[in-house]
């Protein structure tokens, strides 16, 4: 009998746990992700309508627009005389309504409203209007109708539901208004006489990208050709001695070894340009001048623009003869426009030549130390 009662109690408790956990659910749609784009090049002052919804959701919209870079800058609160290109008045109205008595109670103030919302679900319905003015002329009018529905179980944390629902609706309003304003980008720019200058700049960048693409392909072909012509040396030395000398030489050049395997002869080192600073600056400035002449855009030498990677394979030819194959590669550390994918050929050849010189010297030095 006791066993039966214990089993019944256990089943009852399990059922209660399932019931409680099942009543704590909540279903809230995913908020839209803000999309980063080139900002509309205007400085805009913002005025919010004098009502609770406009203040609550309007402030969140301003924050969202700054995060997604809708305009160059937003000035809030705008005051007469503030130096701006345009003024935007934002008016938001609406409320939340619930259904299903007794499932949960959320105080309307959480949503910037008066009253109480009751139910296992609630829907927020808001209309938002943004009007852009240049002086006294209206240059853009954008309106959106935003609806969001959230649901929850009887034992859900209603404060958390309220918080997430409010955040969802705020993001929806900011996102939908921004989408409409961005679609009107060219019209807005034309009102301020900015279209021509921007299009000219875009054409210059596009032309520069095409030119740099051709130049980079030329650089790549030259670098590949040089790598084949001077990418291998043979030393009349013992394999182990040469392997150790390569590791020492690369480390001494500021190219720390990141990976190596003596059995296969593989050595990988990586770091900044191993060339002396004055030589690196001379070649870098020469490359920048060539890029400026080619693209029509201003390029300047930047130390540490590339990370240099050196891959070497040490191979035994005979007990007294060892081959070393070397290959350079590089990665641009700084984002450039147009994008650089290949290093200047003189930088490539001078770097490879310098590494070979240091390796020759290290092998000579190690040989005399052994003696």
pLDDT in tens, 284-325: 899 888 888 887 777 777 777 788 999 999 999 999 999 999
Question: Is the same domain home to 157 and 231?
Answer: no
The answer to the question of residue 144 being in a domain is: yes
Q: Within this chain, do residues 62 and 126 fall inside the same structural domain, yes or no?
A: yes
Q: Which of 178, 193, 208 is the last residue of a domain?
A: 193
The answer on 252 and 137 residing in a single domain is no
Residue 6 lies in a domain: no
- Pairwise CA distance, residues 358 & 362, whole Å: 6
pLDDT tens for 47-80 read 999 999 999 999 999 999 998 889 989 999 999 8
CA distance 100 to 123: 12
Q: What is the mean pLDDT of residues 207-213?
A: 78
Element holding 309 (H helix, E strand): strand 306-318
Q: Is residue 97 part of a domain?
A: yes
Query: Last residue of a domain, which of 174, 193, 212?
Result: 193
- Predicted pLDDT at 11: 40
CATH number of the structural domain spanning residue 250:
3.30.310.80
Q: Are residues 334 and 352 in the same domain?
A: yes
| Claim to verify: residue 47 and residue 81 sit in the same structural domain | yes
Report the DSSP beta bridge partners of residue 133.
87, 138
Q: Distance of alpha carbon 172 from its chain centroid, rounded?
A: 22
- The answer on 358 and 248 residing in a single domain is yes
Could you give the number of structural domains in the chain?
2
DSSP 70-91: -EEEEESS--TT---SEEEEEE
Going by DSSP bridges, is the β-strand pair 121-134/86-99 parallel, antiparallel, or unpaired? antiparallel
């Amino acid at each position: 009998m006791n066993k039966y009662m214990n089993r019944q109690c256990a089943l009852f408790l399990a059922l209660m746990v399932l019931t409680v956990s099942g009543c704590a659910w909540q279903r809230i749609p995913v908020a839209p992700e803000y999309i980063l784009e080139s900002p509309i090049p205007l400085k805009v002052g913002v005025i919010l309508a004098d009502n609770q919804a406009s203040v609550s959701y309007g402030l969140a919209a301003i924050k969202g627009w700054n995060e997604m870079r809708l305009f160059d800058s937003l000035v809030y609160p705008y005051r007469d005389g503030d130096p701006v290109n345009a003024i935007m008045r934002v008016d938001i109205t609406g409320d939340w309504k619930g259904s299903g008595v007794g499932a949960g109670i959320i105080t309307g103030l959480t949503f910037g409203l008066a009253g109480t919302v009751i139910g296992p679900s609630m829907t927020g319905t808001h209309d938002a209007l943004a009007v852009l003015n240049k002086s006294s002329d209206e240059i853009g009018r954008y309106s959106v109708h935003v609806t969001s529905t959230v649901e929850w179980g009887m034992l859900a944390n209603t404060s958390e539901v309220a918080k997430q629902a409010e955040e969802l609706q705020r993001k929806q309003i900011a996102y939908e208004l921004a989408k409409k304003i961005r679609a009107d980008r060219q019209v807005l720019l034309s009102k301020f006489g900015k279209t021509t200058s921007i299009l000219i700049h875009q054409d210059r960048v596009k032309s520069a990208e095409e030119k740099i693409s051709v130049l980079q392909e030329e650089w790549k072909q030259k670098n590949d050709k040089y790598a084949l012509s001077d990418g291998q040396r043979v030393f009349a030395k013992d394999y182990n001695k040469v392997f150790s000398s390569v590791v020492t030489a690369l480390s001494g050049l500021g190219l720390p070894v990141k990976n190596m395997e003596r059995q296969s002869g593989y050595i990988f080192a990586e770091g900044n340009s191993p060339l002396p600073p004055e030589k690196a600056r001379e070649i870098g400035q020469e490359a920048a001048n060539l890029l400026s002449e080619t693209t029509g855009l201003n390029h300047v030498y930047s130390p540490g623009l590339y990370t240099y990677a050196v891959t070497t394979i040490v191979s035994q030819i005979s007990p007294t003869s060892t081959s070393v194959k070397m290959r350079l590669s590089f990665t641009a550390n700084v984002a450039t426009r147009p994008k650089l994918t290949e290093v200047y050929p003189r930088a490539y050849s001078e770097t490879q030549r310098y590494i070979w010189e240091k390796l020759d010297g290290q092998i000579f030095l190690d040989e005399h130390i052994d003696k």
